[in-house]
Amino acid sequence: MDPDWKSLSGLIRRHSTTFYLGSLLFPPTERKGAWAVYAACRLGDEAVDGPQGGQEALEAWWRGVERAYRGLPKEEWEKGLAWALERWPIPQEAFWDMRQGFERDLGPVRLQTEAELLTYCYQVAGTVGRMIAPIAGGSKEVEEKAILLGQAMQLTNILRDVGEDLGRDRVYLPGELLERYGVHLAHLHAGRITPEYRALMAHLEGRARRLYHEGLQGLTGLRVGRAAIALAALQYQGILDKLRLMGYDNLNQRAHLKGWERLRLLPRAFRLSQKGLPATEA
């Protein structure tokens, strides 16, 4: 029996307009594979941040992942993942790495180096690139580009959500960068957007844009789904554009795209998918 695709797609639509809109540009079979992967990842995130989130919920989620890989799914999302695993070689190692990132989020988060930040971005989002690459028909080299794209998207999320994460006792901004730019946590908690803070944000925005530039070069190696992935990347880059226009005030407000702004990116996503060239302009 097929998984309940209506239920799985509904979960995705509720939690990520960006991913859902992009997924519609996949062919039907690959679209279901993308839904299955994202639903599994999203529920792992909910096991940490949801109303019932915590270590016990995360362990229960991991048991579900293991059941899917053994071909013995119980929950609907496990059935979706098992369905995808019958069709594509999605590495379980990617889920394991993702679990490590989720476990980091269970406690107060303090990162010291930019390398730690990028490792975290790999764990919770670069891994999604590893999972989607086989579905889109990419090679090992394409998988590496997909990881960079996932890291870029997660870094964008982090820059968007600095204020929100502070409320959860999570500081993803590396200590070494805070010190280098003369940014103090007390200022962040007070919602102060100083010139030093803007310089730090500009530095990390630049890092994210370089990751987009390199990651999008993998589009040419995909068999399907180029426009889907291009659209998702363009939407996330749009968040960076908004953040810059806001003067990097991510402590008191949240950068986001309106529905019409997302739809306006469709023609550009198709052009990008046909050319296979990275889009990096702001």
Condensed to tens digits (0 to 9), the pLDDT of residues 1-22 reads 689 999 999 998 888 888 888 8
Task: Give the ranges where the chain is alpha helix by DSSP (H).
Answer: 5-15, 17-23, 28-49, 55-70, 76-85, 92-106, 114-121, 127-135, 140-160, 162-166, 175-181, 185-189, 195-215, 226-245, 259-263, 266-275
Query: Which CATH number do you get for residue 91?
Result: 1.10.600.10
One-letter amino acid identity for 174?
A: P
What average pLDDT score do residues 131-160 get?
A: 96
Residues in the chain: 282
What average pLDDT score do residues 65-79 get?
A: 97
pLDDT for residue 22: 86
Task: Report the range of poorest mean pLDDT among 18-32, 91-105, 193-207.
Answer: 18-32
Question: Residue 110, SS3?
Answer: strand
Range(s) of the domain holding residue 123:
5-275
Residue 161, domain member (yes or no): yes
Residue 261, domain member (yes or no): yes
Q: What is the DSSP letter of 139?
A: -
Query: What share of the chain in percent tops pLDDT 70?
Result: 97
CA–CA separation, 263 and 143 (whole Å): 27
Number of domains in the chain: 1
Residue 281, domain member (yes or no): no
Residue 122, domain member (yes or no): yes
Residue 280, domain member (yes or no): no
pLDDT for residue 273: 85
How far is the CA of 114 from the CAs of 110, 150, 250, in angstroms? 12, 16, 19
pLDDT for residue 279: 45
What average pLDDT score do residues 110-119 get?
A: 98
Predicted TM-score of the model (pTM): 0.93
pLDDT for residue 277: 47
CA–CA separation, 281 and 202 (whole Å): 15
Residue 61, domain member (yes or no): yes
Residue 282, domain member (yes or no): no
